[in-house]
Amino acid sequence: MNAKSTFLPQEVIRHKRDGAALKPEDIEKFVRSLTDETLSEGQAAAFAMAVFFQGMTREEQVALTLAMRDSGDKMDWSDFGAGAPVVDKHSTGGVGDKVSLMLAPMVAAMGAYVPMISGRGLGHTGGTLDKFESVPGYNVFPDNPLFKKVVKDVGCAIIGQTANLAPADKRLYAIRDVTATVESIPLITASILSKKMAAGLAALVLDVKWGSGAFMGSYDEARALAANLASVATEGGLPTVALLTDMNEVLGLTAGNAIEMKEAIDFLTGTLREPRLEEVTAVLAAEMALGVGLVSSAEEGLEKVRATLTSGAAAEKFAAMVTALGGPADLLENPDTHLDIAPVAFEVKAKTSGFVSAMDVRAIGNAVVKLGGGRVNPTQKIDHSVGLSAIAGCGAEVGPDTPLCLIHDTDQARAEAVAQDILQAVEISPEKPPYKDVVGERIDGKELI
Ligand code: URA
């Protein structure tokens, strides 16, 4: 009898259902059968629900993460030299979050390698992969040799996830999605980290968002997720720091795809840098450099990060990456020639004058989805040209002559309907609200284990 035939998934599920901690070898066998599909969808769903209610110890989560990491291809950067500074960032997702577009070239300009495997938009949040698909010719799915070559030659490559990276997660996530088991901290942790660990990184930085536009609404929930992610990753062999960042307002001035790409280009060239976006990006970049030992303190990191912007080195890296992956060589010089951004169809004017004091950021993200810039179902084609620009942030003064935002759309009636959602999503008060810090706590995984 072989090992596979002695494995009884129903016993693993029963143990978890009853609150026992599973042995690492049982978790490994379970994940193997999830991957080779000898495990039924019903069994995977029952397991996910058992974990949802009973949770998992850190040891179980490490075992689940590593087993899912090992279920498919793993990137190997050993030919870049021993201790090569290979580092990435993962964000839990937000609205207007174009941080990765600038961050990867900034960190590459500091001497790191950033193989960034990004995802599509999920629910009301945007996705880096969708943003790059708005660049004509840019190949978001290069083969592995080209991906490696661009990372080696340029220092960064932002691409989409290949089918065989953590396939166990792919199957389990699809089942969780339809069985109300997505919102489980151990399952979210293993899902995110298995993919990042398969990318063969030396260090990871997490941007865990909290607030009305984040998956984790409350600061405490986001903090619990951040601490769990950082400690499980670090214990699993990937040194990880998490930063909590605010998603109670849209990040930057735009939300959409081509329109966010344009904001990222303006940021890199120095045409326009919205301060909160700049702060989040700079702090994350400094942490990444620190994580792989390119600087010896966060302060030194911040100084070097800023130098990549003022010298134009980050902009050069971005341009080199775009060209190496098939995009236009003059995207930075002539973004408007290449990016298809719909004309302004509607100016959303506040009904009363005052200051923006709060936003339902999820509703604003959903407004972009309603314009066609995000998906209602996973296979839907999106319209990269639509979106919002000149979004007034918290503290901005608005009135009859100063809009809350501009809606870019080719369909006037739709834009007017979506404007109503935005008006409802934004609170105006007569007094200017106090400034709220965008970057919160820093959680270092190694301090938790
Ligand atoms: N993103 C992931 O990749 N996995 C989850 O479980 C949740 C968000």
What's the pLDDT at 379?
Answer: 82
97-133: per-residue pLDDT in tens?
Answer: 999 999 999 999 999 999 999 999 888 999 999 999 9
Q: Is 405 helix (H, G, I), strand (E, B) or coil?
A: strand
What's the pLDDT at 225?
Answer: 98
198-218: per-residue pLDDT in tens?
Answer: 999 999 999 999 999 998 999
Confidence label for 190 from pLDDT (cuts 50, 70 and 90): very high
Task: Give all domains of the chain, ordered by start, each with its CATH number.
Answer: 3-55 (1.20.970.10), 78-334+439-448 (3.40.1030.10), 339-429 (3.90.1170.30)
Mean pLDDT of 7-26: 98
CA of 421 to the centre of ligand 1 (A): 27
How far apart CA 205 and CA 284 sit, in angstroms, is 7
At 108, list the tokens: 């590459």
CA of 83 to the centre of ligand 1 (A): 28
What's the pLDDT at 1?
Answer: 45
How far is residue 445 from each of residues 222, 234, 235, measured CA to CA in Å?
15, 5, 8
Residues belonging to the active site? 88-91, 128, 176, 191, 195-196
Closest protein CA for atom 2 of ligand 1: 192
Q: Candidates 89, 188, 225: which one to mutate for ligand 1, based on the most atoms within 8 Å of Cβ?
A: 188
Q: Is the CB of 172 under 6 A from ligand 1?
A: no
pTM, whole model, 2 decimals?
0.97
17-68: per-residue pLDDT in tens?
Answer: 999 999 999 999 999 999 999 999 999 999 999 999 999 999 999 999 999 9
How far apart CA 416 and CA 345 sit, in angstroms, is 8
**Residue entry with tokens 């009636």:** 413
Confidence label for 155 from pLDDT (cuts 50, 70 and 90): very high
How far apart CA 84 and CA 96 sit, in angstroms, is 32
CA of 346 to the centre of ligand 1 (A): 35
What's the pLDDT at 151?
Answer: 98
Q: Is the pLDDT of residue 366 over 80?
A: yes
How far apart CA 166 and CA 148 sit, in angstroms, is 18
Q: Is the pLDDT of residue 374 over 70?
A: yes
